[in-house]
C-alpha cells in the first residue's frame, strides 16, 4: 500500500485544515467567557486567555488550517500544528481526560502528514 497516496494526503490535509480552522474560529469567538467550553476546561482556558497564549494558539490554528486547506506550503503548516497537537494531548491528559480521543486523532493525522512530507524534512535532521 502506498502511504503517500496523493488523494489520501489531500483528504487528510483538508480534514485537518477544516478541523483547525473550526477550532481556531470557535475558540476566538468563545472569548474569555468560554461559551460552549466544557466546565473542566474553563479555568485553565481563561488563564491561558488572560496571558494571551490562547489567542496565539487559535490564530496559529486558523492560519495553519487555511494553509492546509488551500495547499499553500502544507509541509510548513504541518510543522506549525505539531506543537499544538502535543499541547492538545498534554492538556487533555491533565485537564479533561474524557476528550483525549480527539487529540489522539488529530495527532495521528498530523503524524501521517509528517510522514507524507518527510522528503521536505529530511535535511532538518542531517548533520553537516
pTM of this structure: 0.88
Torsion of CA 67, 71, 72, 75, to 10 degrees: 80
Any domain includes 127: no
CA distance 86 to 12: 18
CA 117 to chain CA centroid, Å, is 16
Percent of the chain whose pLDDT exceeds 90: 67
Q: Is residue 124 part of a domain?
A: no
Number of compact structural domains in the chain: 1
In-domain check, residue 21: yes
Give the HSE-up count for residue 89: Cα atoms under 13 Å, Cβ half-sphere. 11
Q: The cell 493525522 sits on which residue?
A: 109
Q: Is residue 49 part of a domain?
A: yes
Query: For 15-72, how does the pLDDT look when each residue is reduced to its tens digit (9 = 90+)?
Result: 999 999 999 999 898 877 777 777 888 888 888 899 999 999 999 999 999 999 999 9
Domain range for 95: 6-118
- 107: closest CA among 125, 90, 126? 90
pLDDT band at 1 (very low <50, low <70, confident <90, very high): very low
Residue 1 lies in a domain: no
| pLDDT above 80 for 128 | no
pLDDT of residue 2: 59
State the Cα–Cα distance between residues 53 and 106, nearest whole angstrom.
20
What pLDDT is stored for residue 70 in this prediction? 97
Amino acid at each position: 500500500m502506498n502511504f503517500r497516496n496523493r488523494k489520501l494526503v489531500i483528504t487528510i490535509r483538508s480534514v485537518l485544515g477544516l478541523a483547525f480552522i473550526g477550532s481556531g474560529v470557535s475558540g476566538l469567538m468563545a472569548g474569555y467567557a468560554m461559551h460552549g467550553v466544557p466546565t473542566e476546561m474553563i479555568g485553565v482556558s481563561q488563564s491561558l486567555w488572560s496571558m494571551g497564549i490562547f489567542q496565539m494558539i487559535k490564530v496559529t490554528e486558523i492560519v495553519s488550517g487555511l494553509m492546509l486547506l488551500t495547499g499553500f506550503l502544507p509541509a510548513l503548516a504541518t510543522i506549525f500544528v505539531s506543537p499544538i497537537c502535543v499541547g492538545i494531548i498534554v492538556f487533555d491528559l491533565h485537564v479533561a481526560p474524557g476528550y483525549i480521543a480527539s487529540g489522539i486523532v488529530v495527532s495521528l493525522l498530523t503524524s501521517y502528514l509528517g510522514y507524507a512530507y518527510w522528503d521536505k524534512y529530511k535535511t532538518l535532521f542531517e548533520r553537516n
